[in-house]
Chain A
Amino acid sequence: MNSISKTLNKRKKLKKNLKNKISEGTYNKVKNLDVPKGLYEKCPSCDKTINMKKNIENDYICNHCGNHFRMRAIDRIKYIIDEDTFAEKGLGFITLNPLFQDGYEEKLAKYKKATNLDEAYIYGFGQIFGQPCVIGVMDSYFLMGSMGSVVGEKVTKSFEYAIYKKLPIVIFTASGGARMQEGIFSLMQMAKTSSAVASHSNMGLLYISVLTHPTTGGVTASFATLGDIILAEPNALVGFAGPRVIEQTINQKLPEGFQRSEFLEEKGFVDKVIHRKDLKRSLAKLLALHRRSY
């Protein structure tokens, strides 16, 4: 009896600690992380010098040409999710070094420190204009958003959480593909996440995937292209093979706009290309349209 109550107390204490830790988790701590290094930088699309501070105020869109810059996962959540509704889930996984690759741990530690993330993917519960959903965002600033064991696990967990709560899920993808350093384990994440999408889909729940710049490789060939509805940001690079690999294989230059989201929309692989400023409204609308009516 005594030991049971002891254990219960211990668990309560741990849970309390956990709650404190989560509430001061990524969301609050990273608020002023994205102050850019240089105040003025060149837009890669139109080559004009832009004021980064103004750029951030403009939702990371170039004032001159409308180029969408990459967004940090945390900023994305702040941008898409209603204020104070986000609750981060799936903390506490640790990436290991299965193939004992030299320098992988150091690299991870470096990125962890630089980005304040534990991996290239965060997910949790949130509301979009009052519509509840599970939201998952990949961060391409963490090792190019590559999918290793932990990213695969967290993506799978986010689907499982959505199944458990019977919620729709929205995932923003941004990834260079599989994580080379984890070898075959990284490859298997493709099958794992795809099968998680299938389980979620079998429950009759909605999955919206939003492709952002850049989404390539193993992520494109798994959960990114399995959404019931696939949206994309303008001019995002989306493809299976990287442009450089294709150029090397076929020995010729690729046409302008190849593998960009407008191209994919034209070829029929994206439902709609949506400007960042309209994204939140569109998502809320889509979520509302998928309420059960009977």
Chain B
Amino acid sequence: MDILSKEKKLAKLEKQINDLGDSKAVEKLKLEIESYKKKEMTKLTAWDRVLLARHQKRPTAKDFINYISPDFIELHGDRLFRDDRSIIGGIGTIDGIPFTIIATQKGKNLENNLLRNFAMPHPEGYRKALRLMEQAEKFKRPILTLIDTPGAYPGIGAEERGQGHAIAQNLFKMSQLTVPIIAVVIGEGGSGGALALGVANRVLMLENAIYSILSPEGYASILWKDSTLAPKAAEIMKLTALDLKDFEIIDEIIKEPLGGAHYNKTETFKNTKIAIMAEFHKLRRLSGTELHYRKITKFRNFGFLQRFNYENLGGIKR
């Protein structure tokens, strides 16, 4: 039973309570719900987390920004082609400190999702992000990025305008910035499209967020020629926050309420804000050179391999 069917069962129980009104049976059912939550909602498989990360009710980047930085002003456009609505960017204060905030934005319903292109940015989106980051660098403003995207959009227009080039430029320039950068994966972190906002000093992840090289569906269809095997693929891909923390790819995990972020949004936002500010206060003490150096050293060391030694040479058959 995956997480969505568990949720359905819970909703059914809750409906029964409402139908009953006040009585002893209510107390009994309430207890049943609590025990069910504790027993079932804590046992999450990797696929459950994928479902939670893509959940219809999961708070989007805008919801986070509304709570974290209520005075956020959105700034539009890349100054070259047009404004990409799947990436939002702007300036706002968090605890009175001005931040440049950039995020990929999913829609709440189909109509909204068409406007946001399902949070799959075009090159102009990445160029807008880069423009705002360079602006932040000029005014020595820290940068916060919120990542929730299935990946960069694969389409004719995107290729014509240089999707690969735009992402590469973001990676290149982001690694050179000297202001503190904090990235938070709040939902899906899909491949290069997510990494283009993720070259940060500190990378945080919500408990039920995922971060991977490609979607479990894509993985399953490449490996087994069958995208319905995605649940199986999710288990072996190591895409959950816990796995990535083990690999030291991410720095911190932000706790979510029982059953996922949408069960108690305020608590999720609060936890996120606390985690962001804790990291920021660690980073603000460091100089720009130090921040830059630490960032490139961190990314330099990513990789899972056996490093050079003389004995290794014996192993290679030429």
Q: Which residues of B contact A184 (CB under 8 A)?
A: 211-213, 238-239, 244, 247, 249
Within 8 A of B (CB), among A255-279: 255, 258-259, 267-269
Report chain A residues within 8 Å CB of B222: 180
In contact, B303 and A192 (Cβ under 8 angstroms): yes
Smallest distance from the beta carbon of B77 to chain A beta carbons, Å? 20
Q: Are A195 and B306 in contact (CB under 8 A)?
A: no
Distance of A176 from chain B, by nearest CB (Å): 11
For B173, give the chain A residue with the smallest CB separation: A198
Q: Are A192 and B162 in contact (CB under 8 A)?
A: no
Asked if A246 and B154 make an inter-chain contact with CB atoms under 8 angstroms apart, the answer reads: yes
Q: Pick the contact of A99: B160, B236, B296 (CB < 8 A).
A: B236
Contact B172 A197 (CB under 8 A): yes
Whether a CB of chain A sits under 8 angstroms from the CB of B199 is yes
* A96-B305 in contact (CB<8A): yes
> How far apart are A97's CB and chain B's nearest CB, in angstroms?
8
Interface of A is mostly: helix
Tell me whether A185 and B167 are in contact in the complex, defined as CB-CB below 8 angstroms, given that A198-B175, A226-B172 are known contacts: no
- In the complex, what distance in Å separates the CA atom of A186 from the CA atom of B211? 12
- Assess whether B21 is interfacial by the CB under 8 Å rule: no
> Which listed residue (A29, A30, A259) contacts B159, Cβ 8 A?
A259
Interface-side segment among B94-102, B272-280, B310-318: B310-318
Residue of B nearest to A24 (CB): B318
B176 touches A198 (CB 8 A): yes
Q: Check B192 against A92 for contact (C-beta < 8 Å).
A: no
The answer to whether B307 has its CB under 8 Å from any CB of chain A is yes
Does chain A have a CB within 8 A of B294? no
Pair A220/B168 contact, Cβ less than 8 Å: yes
* A222 contacts the other chain (CB 8 A): yes
Interface residues on B, range: 35 or more
Q: Are A91 and B168 in contact (CB under 8 A)?
A: no
Chain B's closest residue to A94 (CB) is B306
Whether A239 and B223, one on each chain, are in contact in the complex, defined by CB atoms closer than 8 angstroms, is no
A93 at interface by CB-CB < 8 Å: yes
Cβ-neighbour of B175 out of A150, A191, A259 (below 8 A): A191
Q: Give which listed residue, A18, A101, A149, A222, contacts B313 with CB less than 8 A.
A: A18
Contacts A187-B213, A246-B154, A249-B154; is A21 near B238 (CB within 8 Å)? no
Contacts of B306 in A (CB 8 A): 93-94, 96
Residues of B within 8 A of A238 (CB): 164
Among candidates A99, A178, A267, residue contacting B237 with C-beta atoms closer than 8 Å: A99
A224–B316 Cα distance when bound, in Å, is 28
CA separation between A225 and B167, bound complex, in Å? 10
Instruction: State whether A185 and B302 are in contact (beta carbons under 8 Å apart), knowing that A25-B318, A221-B167, A221-B192 are contacts in the complex.
Output: yes
Chain A residues contacting B316 (CB-CB under 8 Å) are: 91-92, 112, 118
In the bound assembly, the distance between CA atoms of A217 and B213 in angstroms comes to 11
Tell me which residues across on chain A come within 8 A of B249, comparing CB atoms.
184-185, 188
- Let me know if B164 and A180 touch, CB within 8 A: no
When A98-B304, A197-B172, A225-B162 are in contact, do A240 and B156 touch as well, CB less than 8 Å? no
Contact A183 B213 (CB under 8 A): yes
**Chain B residues, Cβ within 8 Å of A229:** none
Mark contacts of A197-218 with chain B using CB atoms, 8 A cut-off: 1 yes-contact digit, 0 otherwise.
1110010000000000000011
Q: How far is the CB of B94 from chain A (nearest CB, A)?
A: 25
| Contact present for B305 and A153 (CB under 8 Å) | yes
> A160 vs B239: C-alpha distance in the bound complex, in angstroms?
30
B201 interfacial by beta-carbon distance below 8 Å:
no
Q: Is the CB of B154 within 8 A of A240?
A: yes
Asked whether B299 is an interface residue with its Cβ less than 8 Å from the other chain, the reply is yes
Question: Is A95 located at the chain interface by the 8 A CB criterion?
Answer: yes
Is B93 engaged at the interface, CB distance under 8 Å to the other chain? no
A–B Cβ pairs within 8 angstroms, 25 of them: A14-B310, A21-B313, A24-B318, A93-B308, A96-B305, A98-B247, A99-B238, A100-B236, A116-B318, A150-B305, A153-B305, A178-B214, A180-B214, A191-B171, A195-B299, A196-B300, A202-B176, A220-B164, A220-B168, A225-B164, A225-B168, A240-B159, A246-B159, A255-B156, A267-B160
Given contacts A188-B303, A189-B302, 4 further A-B contacts (CB under 8 A): A184-B249, A239-B163, A240-B167, A241-B158
Report which A residues bind B (CB closer than 8 A): 14, 17-18, 21, 24-26, 29-30, 90-96, 98-101, 112-113, 116, 118, 149-150, 152-153, 156, 178, 180, 182-192, 194-199, 202, 217-218, 220-226, 238-242, 245-246, 249-250, 254-255, 258-259, 267-269
Closest 8 CB pairs of A and B: A241-B154, A220-B164, A194-B171, A195-B175, A98-B304, A188-B302, A240-B164, A149-B303
